[in-house]
Amino acid sequence: MKLNTDRLKNNILKLGSIGRTMYGGITRLGFTDEYYKAADLFKELLEDAGLEVHIDKVGNVIGRKKGKKSEKIIMTGSHLDTVVNGGIFDGNMGAVAGLEFAYYIKENNIKLNHTIEIVGFNAEEGGEMGGTFGSRAMMGLIDLDKKGLVEKLGKYNLSIDDIKNSTIDTDRIKCFIEFHIEQGNILYENNIPIGIVSGIVGITRYKITALGESNHAGTTMMKGRKDAFQALAKLAVQSDDYISNVDDILVGTFGVVNIYPNMANVIPGKAEAILELRHMDQNVIDDTIERIKAIADSIDSAKFTFEKIISKKSCQCDKDIISIIDKVCKDNNIKYKTIHSGAGHDANAIAKKAPVGMIFVPSEKGKSHCPSEWTDWDDIEKGCEILFKTLLKIDEQI
């Protein structure tokens, strides 16, 4: 299989550079001018590759080529948005790999049995609308009755009807294959070029509030203080110790910390943080949060409240698709490892409605969501070869 590696590389760099910042990274947030500039360019490239293309009401770019025998859709692609000051490969690489597959079948006059759709999703990285917004809208997974949704949509000139008009008939999806950088260090440290993803972790977030007692920072002695921030810090440290010893999959992060009144001469009477837990098994997450609540009860300098704000369950990749990717790797003598994904992906949303598979390539030193995010071009080429052959193998199944 001969790929046009120069075109693949140039398109990754061209699309990936939209939104470059003075700090060396890329900021191409969903719904921004930078995002729609990338979406328009991706649309042009998909059209050049011979696909019929449209951008739906929520900003997803969808290129389609009708199959000769089946109306069922084989989908591939990834997201076009980035985090603030992120890298050029996250999402973008998988979308451009799908584009290159379209060029490949066009230039080799390959007539697929199934309709193929190459998708560049909007707003995977999250924000006010929540992560994987574009793919969730497409799958019909947005709760249209959720309080405040209309107001949030209005900020992006969107309506409930726009969400409805972006939802597709998911029964027509045969499968979705997402090609992505690992964003971790397992493949890189073990010098393995391909990761076959077994599943994607669940993500649960709690808003934790510590309530203490504000007082004068100079006249209130240390003994007997009810410092909410100190209490929250103790909870974070003790929770981290516990999480670190559960297993090799569970991860937990305290972030988005707010202190009140946030003044140098006032003891904080209130402190808040978001705790995020990720694991393949929701029971492990639930057991962990109960343990952390028990730790909070043991800290007597503040009272704690826990509010669950996000709960996205883990998903398993389709076993038949995993087997196909496995066979493709073996047939082509390419070393691989089966691993889970610790990051969320559009595949997670689509898995609620259709079979999914994911192919990973290494991230240098495990870095992602930063300007130094890098994946070697040789690894990307190998990954594209596995992706293309997987798609062609799936297309044979009528």
DSSP notation for 234-298: HHHHHHHHHHTTT-SS-EEEEEEEEEES--TTB--SEEEEEEEEEES-HHHHHHHHHHHHHHHHT
- Angular region, 74: left φ>0, alpha ψ -120 to 50, beta rest: beta
In angstroms, the CA 38 to CA 96 distance is: 11
Tokens of 62: 């969808």
CB hemisphere CA count around 165 (13 angstroms): 11
Q: Specify the pLDDT at position 203.
A: 93
- Sign of the dihedral defined by the CA atoms of residues 91, 93, 98, 99, in that order: positive
| Cα–Cα dist 136/131, whole Å | 9
Contact partners, residue 233, CB within 8 Å, separation at least 6: none
Asked if omega into 261 is within 30° of 0 (cis), the reply is: yes
Question: In this model, does residue 398 exceed pLDDT 80?
Answer: no
For residue 71, pLDDT beyond 90 = no
**Could you identify the residue written with the tokens 């999959």?**
249
pLDDT for the residue 217: 96
Burial bucket for residue 260 (CB in 10 Å: 0-12, 13-18, 19+): middle
pLDDT of residue 158: 95
Is residue 212 scored above 80 in pLDDT?
A: yes
- DSSP E strands in 66-139: the ranges are 70-79, 114-121
pLDDT, mean of residues 358-386: 97
pLDDT at 129: 84
Question: What's phi and psi for 198, nearest 5 deg?
Answer: -85, -30
Total number of residues shown for the chain: 398
Which pLDDT belongs to residue 17? 96
CATH fold, domain 202-312, is Alpha-Beta Plaits (3.30.70)
- Average pLDDT estimate for 58-64: 98
Distances (CA, A) of 200 to 278, 313, 332, 352, 387: 10, 9, 26, 12, 18
> Confidence band (pLDDT; 50, 70, 90) for 130?
confident
Find out whether 105 and 112 touch, Cβ atoms under 8 Å. Answer: yes
Task: Give the CA dihedral 219, 222, 226, 230, nearest 10 degrees.
Answer: 120
The confidence score (pLDDT) of residue 312 equals 87
Average pLDDT, the chain: 96
Residue 1 has pLDDT above 80, yes or no: no
Domain limits, the chain: 5-201+314-395, 202-312
Provide CB contacts within 8 A for 46, sequence distance 6+.
Answer: 53, 61, 63, 99, 102, 118
Question: Annotated binding site, which residues?
Answer: 79, 90, 125, 180, 205, 265, 278, 369
Q: Are 41 and 28 within 8 A, CB to CB?
A: no
pTM, full prediction: 0.91
At 323 the pLDDT is 98
Instruction: For 232-283, write each residue's pLDDT tens digit.
Output: 999 999 999 999 999 989 999 999 999 999 999 999 999 999 999 999 999 9
* Residue 328 burial (CB count, 10 A): 23
Q: State the DSSP string of 313-345.
A: --EEPPHHHHHHHHHHHHHTT--EEEEEESS--
Binding residues for allantoate: 205, 265, 278
Known binding residues for Zn(2+) are 79, 90, 125, 180, 369
Alpha helix (H) ranges present in 140-227? 149-154, 160-166, 186-189
- Averaged pLDDT, 122-136: 91
Pick the CATH number of 5-201+314-395 from 3.10.690.10, 3.30.420.40, 3.30.1180.20, 3.40.630.10: 3.40.630.10
What is the per-residue pLDDT for 126?
80
Taking a C-beta distance cutoff of 8 angstroms, is the pair 94, 11 a contact?
no
